Structure 1
């Protein structure tokens, strides 16, 4: 069967599955596949944060979405998804004629991804006993060695014929602050490491790099990036429930809360969303079943004991993270936002309304509160700046930088086993995936990874009525523009590509 016919077959099966689900929901027409799907129906009757129905190790959930916001979400984001589901497979067929297979990057490019891009979130200079023993066994000093810890991926339960394996990559920091690749060790489900593979190990090395890139793709989507999304939902719900719309804090935050609640709800709680990964839909791209992938969401919030790269989530965690070039770029925007917030709240009193808001945010968002229970104006400014920064700059930049890594270097599915030792093995990029895998890969990349900003930070309008605050709004945009212009060698997202909120 030709590639085009295979793509058409997968798309047709997806359409039939969707139609049968719709018939079941609207008319009760029996569909046996739903009896074992694990679908859960959630009540949308509580606007206040509540324990996650998925896991106690997940952030507080918001299971109610206001009608007007839901309508906006359906008319914008969901409408785009529906258009893509119906038509983007045609673009996929054309794209895959030119690039039907994944591609293994050279070592320099691979090292750059792991140490300079959004993948720096996995990089740590904390080595444990197993790391040091493995390096010593191979005659390698652990001085100046860092590792990219991709261990959590081993906990995913892949579908038959697919592989999903954790790993550890070792890099040595040079005197100039750059990194050189040392080696890779694959990691099994018990977090036991295999042999250290080196760049001279031929096909084993090539296989290892592809499994590492799959692991980095997985953890970006299920562990590091969700820290932008889900912990902020409770803060948004508290803000919209407790603060009057005309309150300065409410006005300050509203542009940065646009569409996040319905979007996050759809990611976590809708069966045809990316989290559940229903394999019967032709645009679901991952290797594992929903339950084991939700386990990665748990690591995002609860952390993974014994792994320094995955501490428990705490509000404002990025400001305390290991300083890298990418985080320095992000931090510059935080400083600009903080200066603006200080100006806006200069005359805001820490009255009972504000203190109640802060207290409730602290209850539902770990680390939001101040040590000892005190809360002053500077702490208020910091918390507000973090919310705004997280939902605009950090989220958009992470998406843009992840998208900039070529799709062929971001595997979501692999059909060759990982190398746990240096045994002779084959490596042919044609064997890494099948047509079905690459179709799903393309659709996922276009629907969920490509930046789709609806409202841009450069045009943010806080709706202030006071002339002084309106001028502060204009000055803020000018300050953002000036910071963007100062980044003469900027490798990362330009200001024009940053959205006001989490909109995709």
Structure 2
């Protein structure tokens, strides 16, 4: 029997192929991180049409890596629970939030991401008696919390806050509370004071479950496909790989584990939210799919460049994006148009991530550099800053639970000490220690991309130096929202 020489067959066939096809056929399973059998996105089990694709089958080595460096910290931190509870037994309730502090939360913190010039019809109707055509306004719309079904005795209300431009700064003018269908100003005394807590509660809910998840879950598809579809020695793999560690197992734990804080069970000492699982999960859907007829929530897009944020918080984010963009532009300068590995990579991702360029678009008008820069910026700067900023907020001023009905005009005195319980605050503080405050394992400032070429190694060193220059620039401008040393290398909390 004649034996077919398949090696010769393929050699003969490739003479008819173009250079790009020869390149991709030359790769073997050993050239890939997981031998072409790595993680891959699939429809999210809980919301296949309402959430971004999920990555459920995580390689064992990544699971173990996460448990050793991240998961064990959770277990140890839980031992603090009784001490935290005792503290809040003696430090009950909320504390006063001045109008200046309230304004600062909405215009300078993570919550400034909700500021929008886009007032829709309902906004114009609510605030028609407070809007002057000659003035400039922003709105903080916290409507998504309407989907939250609260526990007994706990209350949440959608709200809209109107801000007016005065002397170059935006200042809160009035608050609309949907549950009471009334508008409050500082002249409303106790009603105004309680309304501020409801706004801050809504902002905390939307920040952690509507806005911030957009930095997490939609990018899991990019993480998984990069590990599975790009050869290990490809320049794009080397550029992205340091920013992929810990993330997939972390996301899987948040979305699917029965011990996740999203499950919001009564016995969980770290589950601080005001209602059960279903309503909380719907907040993620609001963030990803958007809200019909609401200009403040239009659904997730992979923007490729940071979207406009009307605050110094956004200025800080842009400063670091520019530094990352310059570095990525240098590293990818020699990538050939039509690189088959990148083309395949983009074609795999684009159907799964809204507005992600496909294999043709990725090589047009700087899209490759913008796309890669945005991803790195998202999982490092943008993600870390949200955690650093929110994790530092005073939970006695920014509640997640409120044990009082929505404010009404002319309401009498309310007790701040009774607005939250010691259990409420214990759960909140534990979640802050476990999940919200940054706890870095690897950091951006000392990232090694394992380049082999001297030119690329020099670029790596220059990038780290330029990060320090960006920090110095932020300090000079008075917008250094977080130290460079605290910025994580990947999504690891």
Q: TM tier, shorter chain?
A: 0.7 to 0.9
TM-fit CA distance, 1:465: 1.6
- Alpha carbons 1:50, 1:61 under 8 Å: kept: yes
1:355 aligns with 2:343: yes
1:321 aligns with 2:312: no
Q: What number of residue pairs does the alignment pair up?
A: 453
Distance 1:266 1:131, change over 3 A: same
Contact 2:175-2:183 within 8 A present in 1 as well:
yes
Report the 3-state secondary structure (helix = DSSP H, G, I; strand = E; otherwise coil) of the residue aligned with 2:363.
coil
Is it true that 1:131 corresponds to 2:118 in the alignment?
A: no
Q: What's the CA shift for 1:94?
A: 5.1
Alignment correspondent of 2:399 = 411
**Inter-partner Cα distance in structure 2 for 1:195 and 1:337:** 46
Aligned residue for 2:406, secondary structure, equals coil
- Please give the residue correspondences for 1:249-398 in structure 2 after superposition, counting only pairs within 5 Å: 249-316=236-303, 319-349=306-336, 350-369=338-357, 373=361, 375-376=363-364, 378-398=366-386
Distance in 1, Cα, partners of 2:363 & 2:131: 52
Residue number in structure 2 paired with 1:476: 463
Shift, 1:131, TM fit? 2.4
Local SS of the residue matching 1:319: coil
Residue 362 (structure 1) shift: 1.1
Mapping of residues 146-295 of structure 1, within 5 Å: 146-176=138-168, 178-188=169-179, 194-295=181-282
- Deviation for aligned residue 1:137: 3.5
Partner of 1:40: none
- Aligned residue for 1:399? 387
Q: What do residues 311-339 of structure 1 show as CA deviations (whole Å, max 9, x unaligned)? A: 11110276233443211210111111111
The Cα shift of 1:71 comes to 0.1
Residues 305, 374 of structure 2: 8 Å contact kept: no
Stretches of structure 1 that go unaligned for 5 or more consecutive residues are 1-44
**1:336-364 CA deviation, whole Å, 9 max, x = no partner?**
11111111112223321110101112121
Does the alignment pair 1:66 with 2:70? Answer: no
- Give me the whole-angstrom Cα distance separating, in 1, the residues matched to 2:360 and 2:68: 45
Kindly report the root-mean-square deviation, in angstroms, between the aligned alpha carbons of the 2 structures: 1.9
Please, what TM-score do these two structures have when normalized by structure 1?
0.86
Give the Cα separation in 2 of the matches to 1:118 and 1:463: 34
Name 1:57's counterpart in structure 2: 50
2:343 & 2:304 partners in 1: Cα distance? 22
8 A Cα contact 1:147 1:171, kept in partner: yes
Q: Which residue of 2 aligns with 1:35?
A: none
Task: Say whether residues 1:501 and 2:490 are aligned partners.
Answer: yes
SS at match of 1:136: coil
- Partner of residue 69, structure 2: 76
Unaligned residue ranges in structure 2 (runs of 5+): 1-36
Contact persistence 2:316–2:480 (CA under 8 A): no
Give me the whole-angstrom Cα distance separating, in 2, the residues matched to 1:103 and 1:308: 33
Change (3 A) 1:322 1:485: closer
How far, CA to CA, are the matches of 1:494 and 1:142 in structure 2?
40
Say whether the 8 Å CA contact 2:44–2:51 is kept in structure 1: yes
Is this contact kept in 2: 1:370–1:379, CA < 8 A?
no
Superposed displacement of residue 99, structure 1: 3.0
Change (3 A) 1:101 1:434: same
User: CA–CA distance in 1 between the matches of 2:440 and 2:51?
Assistant: 27
Q: Secondary structure at the match of 1:275?
A: helix
**Separation (CA, whole Å) in 1 of partners of 2:339 and 2:359:** 19
Give the C-alpha shift of residue 279 in structure 1: 2.0
Structure 2 counterparts to residues 22-41 of structure 1, below 5 A: none
Per-residue CA shift, 1:384-428, capped at 9, x if unaligned?
A: 111100000000011111122212122111110111x30323321
Query: What TM-score, normalized by structure 2, do the two folds share?
Result: 0.88
Residues 140 and 345 from structure 1, CA distance in 2 versus in 1: closer, same or farther, beyond 3 angstroms? closer
Maintained 8 Å contact 1:104/1:210: no
- Determine the C-alpha separation between the residues in 2 that align with 1:385 and 1:164: 38
